[in-house]
């Protein structure tokens, strides 16, 4: 999902204040979607790793016992940026793509997969997560540039805080 338009992004200094704010808001929404897909991919990858660890721990180990641990790591881990309230993001192209990857590799039946299938599933989810993380880093760079331009405009008096109250 790497944004091929990242290199073609407009120079923040050349945007009107309204366009600058709108583009920043759009990128923040896109980041919410990308972040959601990334967290779900990481959680699913942790489930695969937990299944692999369970197999190495012996026949009495139970994957279900590890569910709370895996989910708590992803629900309570602090993101680098403060979370923003969002709508349900489970119905988007990235979530659908991840679901398709997991379905293709039989994520729903982890305990039935042989070791080679488990490794293939881990690789597929890992590749998805790596690609989504790369896209997210590029989006952060763009968001940071837009935010820096907004700060500069407020600091230099080109934009007024009062304009935020009228918008």
pLDDT at 6: 45
pLDDT at 5: 46
pLDDT at 9: 72
pLDDT at 166: 61
pLDDT at 160: 78
Distance between CA atoms of residues 149 and 46, nearest Å: 38
Report yes or no: 98 and 44 within 8 Å, Cβ to Cβ: yes
Nearest in space to 80 (alpha carbons), one of 39, 30, 21, 23: 39
Report yes or no: 137 and 1 within 8 Å, Cβ to Cβ: no
Tens digits of pLDDT across the chain (167 residues): 444 444 457 899 999 998 999 999 999 988 888 988 998 999 999 889 888 887 777 655 565 666 666 655 555 554 555 555 556 777 789 999 999 999 999 999 998 999 999 999 999 999 999 999 999 999 999 999 999 999 998 888 888 777 666 65
Cα distances from 134 to residues 25, 76, 84, 141, in angstroms, run 20, 22, 21, 11
pLDDT at 20: 92
pLDDT at 94: 93
Distance between CA atoms of residues 77 and 73, nearest Å: 6
pLDDT at 73: 59
Report yes or no: 108 and 102 within 8 Å, Cβ to Cβ: yes
Q: Within a 13 Å sphere around the CA of 125, how many CA atoms are in the beta-carbon half?
A: 25
pLDDT at 62: 60
CA distance between the termini of the chain:
32
């Amino acid at each position: 999902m790497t944004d091929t338009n990242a290199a073609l992004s407009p120079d923040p200094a050349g945007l009107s204040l309204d366009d600058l704010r709108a583009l920043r808001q759009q990128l923040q929404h896109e980041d919410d979607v990308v972040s959601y897909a990334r967290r779900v991919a990481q959680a699913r990858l942790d489930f695969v790793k937990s299944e692999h660890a369970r197999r190495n721990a012996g026949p009495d180990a139970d994957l279900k016992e590890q569910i709370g641990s895996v989910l708590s790591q992803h629900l309570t881990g602090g993101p680098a940026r403060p979370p923003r309230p969002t709508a349900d993001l489970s119905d988007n192209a990235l979530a659908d793509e991840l679901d398709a990857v997991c379905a293709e590799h039989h994520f729903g039946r982890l305990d039935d997969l042989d070791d080679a299938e488990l490794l293939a599933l881990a690789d597929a989810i890992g590749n998805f997560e790596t690609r989504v993380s790369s896209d997210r880093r590029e989006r952060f760079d763009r968001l940071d540039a837009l935010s820096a331009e907004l700060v500069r405009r407020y600091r230099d008096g080109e934009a007024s805080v009062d304009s935020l109250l009228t918008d």
